[in-house]
Amino acid sequence: MKISLGPAQVIFLVIILFGYTAIMISMIVSNNNNENAPSNVASFGGSGINKELSDSLAALAAHVQETERLAGAKLTVAQDKLKALAARNGELIEHHEEHHALEGGEGSGGDSSSRAQLRGLEDQVAALRKEKEELEAHHDKHHEEFEQLQAHHNEHHLYENEAHKSIEFTQGVIVLGMHRSGTSMLGGLMTKMGLDPGKPLIMPASDNEKGFFERIDVVLQNDAIMGKQGIAYSSKCCDYDYTKGLQAIYSEPEGSKFFNEGRRALAFLNNENNFPWMLKDPRLCITVRTWLPLLTYQPAIVFQYRHPMDVAQSLLTRFEHFKIARSLKMWYVYNRMGIQNSNDLCRVVTSHKSMLSSAQVELDRIYSELKTCGLNVPHKITPAGIAEFVDPKLQHGKTGQGNQCGASAPAVDTLLPPASWPTQDALHIKLYREVMRVYCALEDRSAFKSDFKWDMTIVDK
Domain with residue 357: its CATH number is 3.40.50
Q: Quick one: 386 and 242 in the same domain?
A: yes
> Is residue 111 a contact partner of residue 96, using CB atoms and an 8 Å limit?
yes
Q: Quick one: 157 and 263 in the same domain?
A: no
Q: Quick one: 207 and 292 in the same domain?
A: yes
Above pLDDT 90, what percent of the chain? 57
| Domain limit, last residue, from 163, 196, 222 | 163
Find, among 350, 330, 319, the residue nearest to 183 by Cα. 350
**Within a domain: 275:** yes
Q: Quick one: 33 and 117 in the same domain?
A: yes
Domain that holds residue 249: 172-399
Overall average pLDDT of the 236-259 stretch: 96
Between 66 and 199, residue with greater pLDDT: 199
Number of structural domains, the chain?
2
Mean pLDDT: which of 318-322, 416-420, 427-431 is highest? 427-431
pLDDT tens-place string over residues 190-217:
999 999 999 999 999 887 888 999 999 9
**Within a domain: 438:** no
Integer Cα distance of 414 and 327 in angstroms = 22
Q: Quick one: 345 and 228 in the same domain?
A: yes
**Within a domain: 453:** no
Integer Cα distance of 179 and 96 in angstroms = 88
Q: What band does 153 get if pLDDT is binned at 50, 70 and 90?
A: low
Amino acid type, 75? L
> Is residue 49 a contact partner of residue 157, using CB atoms and an 8 Å limit?
yes
Q: Quick one: 150 and 236 in the same domain?
A: no
CA distances from 312 to 129, 258, 301, 389, 392 (A): 66, 33, 24, 22, 18
| Domain limit, last residue, from 163, 182, 213 | 163
Q: What are 136's strand-pairing partners? A: none
Q: Quick one: 352 and 231 in the same domain?
A: yes
Integer Cα distance of 94 and 283 in angstroms = 79
At CA 116, angle to CA 107 and CA 134, rounded to 5? 150
Backbone angles phi, psi at 379, to 5 degrees: -165, 165
Q: Quick one: 190 and 53 in the same domain?
A: no
**Within a domain: 422:** no
Backbone angles phi, psi at 174, to 5 degrees: -105, 130
At CA 78, angle to CA 77 and CA 83, rounded to 5? 100
CA distances from 239 to 12, 399, 446, 448 (A): 68, 30, 25, 21
Q: What band does 407 get if pLDDT is binned at 50, 70 and 90?
A: confident
Find, among 191, 17, 5, the residue nearest to 121 by Cα. 17
**Within a domain: 414:** no
pLDDT at 162: 44
Q: What band does 149 get if pLDDT is binned at 50, 70 and 90?
A: low
pLDDT at 266: 98
Judged by DSSP in three states, 167 sits in: coil
Judged by DSSP in three states, 158 sits in: helix
Q: Tell me the pLDDT of the chain averaged across its residues.
A: 81
**Within a domain: 234:** yes
Q: Quick one: 203 and 350 in the same domain?
A: yes
Integer Cα distance of 136 and 71 in angstroms = 8
| Domain limit, last residue, from 352, 383, 399 | 399
> Is residue 373 a contact partner of residue 348, using CB atoms and an 8 Å limit?
yes
Overall average pLDDT of the 401-413 stretch: 83
Integer Cα distance of 302 and 173 in angstroms = 7
Q: Quick one: 157 and 255 in the same domain?
A: no
Q: Quick one: 158 and 249 in the same domain?
A: no
> Is residue 328 a contact partner of residue 308, using CB atoms and an 8 Å limit?
yes
Above pLDDT 70, what percent of the chain? 66
Q: What are 235's strand-pairing partners? A: 232
pLDDT tens-place string over residues 68-115:
677 667 667 766 766 776 676 666 666 656 655 555 544 445 556 666
Q: Quick one: 269 and 222 in the same domain?
A: yes
**Within a domain: 460:** no
Task: Walk across the sheet containing 172-176 and list its strands.
Answer: 277-280, 172-176, 300-305, 347-351
**Within a domain: 125:** yes
Can you say whether the dihedral through the CA atoms of 186, 421, 445, 452 is positive or negative? Answer: negative
List the helix and strand counts (H, then E) for the chain.
15, 4
Integer Cα distance of 331 and 288 in angstroms = 17
Amino acid type, 333? V
